[in-house]
Amino acid sequence: MNVAVPLATQTDPPVVELRGAARQFGGEQIVHALHPTDFVISSGEYVAVVGPSGSGKSTLLNVLGLLDRPSSGEYVLDGIPTAGAAERVRTPLRASCIGFVFQSFHLLPQRTVLENVLLATAYSGVRRSERVPRALAALERVGLGHRLGFLPPLLSGGERQRAAIARAVVTSPRLLLADEPTGNLDSDSSAAVLDLFDELNRGGLTLVVITHDDDVSARAHRRVRIADGRLREEPS
């Protein structure tokens, strides 16, 4: 008799799970930049985080990106507890699991577009022999296959941000974090970046985009508002 065995009964862990995670700064005057927060993001979600200046958006992004640690509580990234983990655990986890896109691109001006993308593969676990082919594929994907040898200052803002997106995805991260990704772009370039995000999300990438821009947050499938360090889910 043949017995059908279910292939996978266990679902993937959430990509992001904050458990009572909080971040405070300062000595005499304590600033609660992030109040104790529970926040779960499943694989494949596209989340916008909106809120005014000083509300805690960057604090949240830095915690999610393993650039900072919560002062209390836990952050489980892709099933791995990170809040108390050593930097020798967090650094390779950041390089392999997370891609970053910033408002001001953060490309190295003296390195070519291809070199900028290749640099992201260091510490990421991508095998040496795969690095160049993957960087070329990432740059083709964002429409910059014809700009490989250019230095970033010679590119338009939109091209720079697309190069930064190639750099962010070359390692096939679990999570893409973007902080005001269209903040320095004209409307055509913004639209191209948002189209690229849609395409990446359709391919299964989990996206968290911090933005002031309603056009940007409207593209996400889930919106979370942050005010004075407190997160609140918006009705969808």
Record the tokens describing residue 95, joined without a space.
Answer: 């390089």
Separation CA 142–CA 108 (nearest Å): 18
Judged by CB under 5 A, does residue 172 bind Mg ion? no
The one of ligand ADP, Mg ion, none whose footprint includes residue 26, by CB under 5 to 8 A per kind, is: ligand ADP
Helix, strand, coil percentages (3-state) for the chain, rounded to 5, are 35, 25, 40
Instruction: Tell me if 42 contacts Mg ion by CB under 5 A.
Output: no
17 — phi, psi (to 5°)? Answer: -145, 105
Chain centroid, CA 199 distance in Å: 15
**What's the closest the beta carbon of residue 103 comes to Mg ion, in angstroms?**
9
Closest CA to 144 of 120, 126, 117, 124: 117
Cβ 100 to Mg ion shortest distance, Å = 13
Closest CA to 109 of 72, 64, 67, 155: 155
- Binding segment (CB under 5 A) for Mg ion, from list 56-64, 111-119, 149-157, 189-197: 56-64
Q: What is the DSSP letter of 152?
A: G
Q: Which is nearer to ligand ADP, 58 or 172 (CB)?
A: 58
Cβ atoms of residues 72 and 32 within 8 Å? no
47 binds, among Mg ion, ligand ADP, none (CB under 5 to 8 A by kind): none
Residue whose token pair is 């958006």: 57
Least spacing, CB of residue 210 vs ligand ADP, in Å: 7
Least distance between Mg ion and beta carbon 58 (Å): 3
Site for Mg ion in 58-87 (CB under 5 A): 58
Q: Return the SS3 of 91.
A: helix
Interacting residues toward ligand ADP by CB under 6 A:
25-26, 31, 33, 51, 53-59
Question: Cβ closer to ligand ADP: 31 or 218?
Answer: 31
Q: What are phi and psi of 47, to 5 degrees?
A: -115, 135
Residue nearest to Mg ion (CB): 58
Choice between 67 and 148, CB closer to Mg ion: 67
- Closest approach of ligand ADP to the CB of residue 53, in Å: 4
Can residue 184 be called a binding residue for Mg ion (CB under 5 A)?
Answer: no
Q: Which is nearer to ligand ADP, 42 or 71 (CB)?
A: 71
